[in-house]
Chain A
């Protein structure tokens, strides 16, 4: 049995799964200390299903902490940036192209040092140990303990980054060091950006991962803890603490894969309605559509592969601004109504009219219109049918425009409505052939975490004059497929997601560094052809 948890800014969801069956689920407010909320959610699903903690084989957690920290410029470490490439690259110093506020938050602790490699393996400039040492001494004096090191052509030759890290650790043993070569490929700026973002998140990651581990310990769960990463596969808690940047895109991936699992539909538009935004993504053949070009995270360009997501400002806590004089009116001018983009977020249980607050939110409108039933209806003012109709129509228009923007084919798409606020999506949307609300739609994210995939990677230097390229590729595909299966992946679900080849022109024999990555579904979760029964929302 597995437990999937999704820790969002507003809610913490958990599901207990046995194979494909969902035995129990819960949605609870995210606690300020994270740990108690996670423990509470897990305790609830174990209790509801009457399952003892020792029967749990694995716990998978997806979290938006890291994304939120970057978007909100909050809880980030100041970062010491060591770049080994000078004189090359001085035209584009680190943090170029970053949003000003984020760059300021990270700080200007930048050291442009000689070093790096050329494409043919020569050094751009010799490694200068004294300069690296001096930079480390200065960072230690300033108390900058998160350090990102990037050297030119590190994905091909990591030794300068490794040497610099050794010196930094010797001078400053408490520093957390991120090496660009460990998280990125060719493309200097994007790789350096990713390393800096990762370093900025290391303090938060240590806290968050430790709080997850504490929650499991409190419950007496000895099963391994995994964290979802951007591509739907898992990393160990220890890896996540070291490489939080690999987990920033897991939220949308989990909700889309969860939606596909719950419906059995592989090609659809997924709309995940949370407290603040609706994230719209596209499932193609059961997998989230990825963006081909570099992805911006918190306004910073990286070369991670991430689901292609459109976020719009409509969620359960979205503020609806309308002069109360129009609440019971027969109509009003369109400009009198403003929906979002701001939201009361996690304060919904305090600020929304339904909960005795004094802010009109999207949830209040949905309950008044009979589209959802929670909170105290009696707290709601009297709305005229015309007013409710107009606000509701505005919500639908926002969603319909988003569907249209994400659609690639002409014709109507299937829409999968998930997330805690999925009641904001009507039963019919323009541009949608049908709107499907699967069972457990509200916790699709946690389901996505629980059904996470297994990934494996094989990287080798191949001499093509000894082994032809096609032969080497076929061999490595077989090898990586076997590794996915060995790690628990279902054989018929394995697919190759990445083939990366860098020719090493400085080695004899037409040598190339070849990297092949594959993912597969966890065995015991066969993909069924039949769609899950449709559940219509109660009116």
Chain B
């Protein structure tokens, strides 16, 4: 499949939703993608099963605090420098790249990197959404190594990271990102084609495009964009349940750049003072409580959206007074396995609540 200007815009819209608030600002990634489309006709997207078993496939994306990424912009040299250096480390050319996470701007960023390198993008990612930490990727859950990994920044700094375990890799990378101003580009979890086919979350890039297209078409046709969004999510087969969790106005927002993350909470009050919802986030929205009761928790998706246009509002774009709908969706099944929940479930973020699926919490599975 070729990704043209329209599909790129749809991808930005869909990826913004799948980011669950994180993954970086999709608009700036969209601008970079559009600028690249002035040079290349379109981006090439290939299915997982087209990869040879021994191909070299590399996930990449930006690591840091989204609140920084909207103010400190890329130099444009980061991704290519990191990919080229990995080729040198491994002594062979890269055959394809994929987003480490489909959510937010990181779902789009690899398109430009791939075009610069002259390779296709794989229709898959490592998270099926966005997560704040590198070891939350499906590749770590399935026991693959993040290294060798290359981290680059706008100032030209480049670091090759070699560690035995992926948690240490995340800590080193996070520390470097802070030292480099809070945002850096990372190439990590180099995979064989076989490993990608066995473990990556397949179809997530085309799913994001389909979700974005459904919202766009609903708007063009004057239909309810939210209804279109829920239907499109269910149609992807990756996100089997979706629906509205709350509708109201943002009345409080605490957001801080801390330890290389954007952390905080946002409080939404129902119109006419009917109920409150509180979201806690670490780059991504992690848990949603309605009047004190949990209604959605990580790894299920929780996204704040403009209640009129169904545009997803990422963490760094939240503002006091915005009128929003909070929308939830079931995470891909691979993220709900016991070994995954240990690394990406509520406990991994310090919440004491045991994980309960969003469809059970909201009675969506009673249909």
Contact = CB atoms under 8 A, between A and B. Distances in A.
Interface string B181-217: 1100000000000000000000000000000000000
Interface stretch (A17-25, A127-135, A185-193, A524-532): A185-193
A292 B257 contact: no
A404 B255 CA distance: 36
Given A404-B222, A497-B321, A88 B182 contact: no
Contacts of A207: none
Interface string A83-113: 0011111111000110000000000000000
B324 to A, nearest CB: 6
B75 A293 contact: no
Contacts of A459: none
Contacts of A512: 256
B355 interface: no
Interface stretch (A118-126, A237-245, A376-384, A414-422): A118-126
A119 B71 CA distance: 9
B76 A187 contact: no
Contacts of B351: none
A247 B3 CA distance: 39
B255, B258, B317 — which one has the most chain A CB atoms within 10 A of its CB?
Answer: B317
A120 B181 contact: yes
A290 B70 CA distance: 22
B75 A90 contact: yes
A499 B311 CA distance: 22
Contacts of A404: 222
A116 B323 CA distance: 33
B142 interface: no
Interface in A268-290: 284, 289-290
B181 A187 contact: no
Interface in A457-498: 469, 496-498
Contact of B71 (A152, A289, A505): A152
B306 A87 contact: no
A172 interface: no
A104 B306 CA distance: 33
B73 A188 contact: yes
B158 interface: no
Chain B contact-residue range equals 35 or more
Contact residues of A: prevailing secondary structure = loop
A501 B35 contact: no
Interface stretch (B25-33, B288-296, B330-338, B342-350): B25-33
Contacts of B257: 119, 503, 505
Contact of A498 (B28, B313, B321): B321
B319 interface: yes
A89 B65 CA distance: 16
A500 interface: yes
B361 interface: no
A122 B181 CA distance: 8
A512 B72 CA distance: 19
Interface string A412-438: 000000000000000000000000000
A116 B155 CA distance: 12
Nearest to B30: A97
A188 B306 CA distance: 21
A405 interface: yes
A87 B181 contact: no
A118 B182 CA distance: 8
Contacts of A75: none
A355 B321 CA distance: 48
Contact of A292 (B35, B71, B181, B313): B313
A159 interface: no
Contacts of A152: 71-73
A153 interface: yes
Contact of B74 (A92, A118, A291, A408): A92
A401 interface: yes
Interface in B112-167: 154-156
B75 A408 contact: no
Interface string B62-89: 0001011011111111000000000000
A90 B77 CA distance: 9
A214 interface: no
A252 to B, nearest CB: 15
B73 A89 contact: yes
A96 B30 CA distance: 11
A294 interface: yes
Given A96-B31, A120-B182, A187-B70, A91 B308 contact: no
14 contacts: A85-B72, A87-B75, A87-B155, A97-B31, A97-B34, A122-B181, A153-B72, A186-B316, A188-B72, A189-B27, A189-B28, A292-B313, A405-B222, A501-B254
Given A153-B71, A187-B317, A189-B27, 9 more contacts: A85-B72, A89-B74, A92-B74, A119-B72, A122-B181, A124-B181, A292-B308, A408-B308, A500-B319
User: 7 closest pairs, A vs B, by CB?
Assistant: A91-B76, A89-B73, A292-B306, A118-B181, A499-B320, A292-B322, A88-B154
Interface of B: 27-28, 31-32, 34-35, 65, 67-68, 70-77, 154-156, 178, 181-182, 222, 252-258, 306-309, 311, 313, 316-317, 319-324
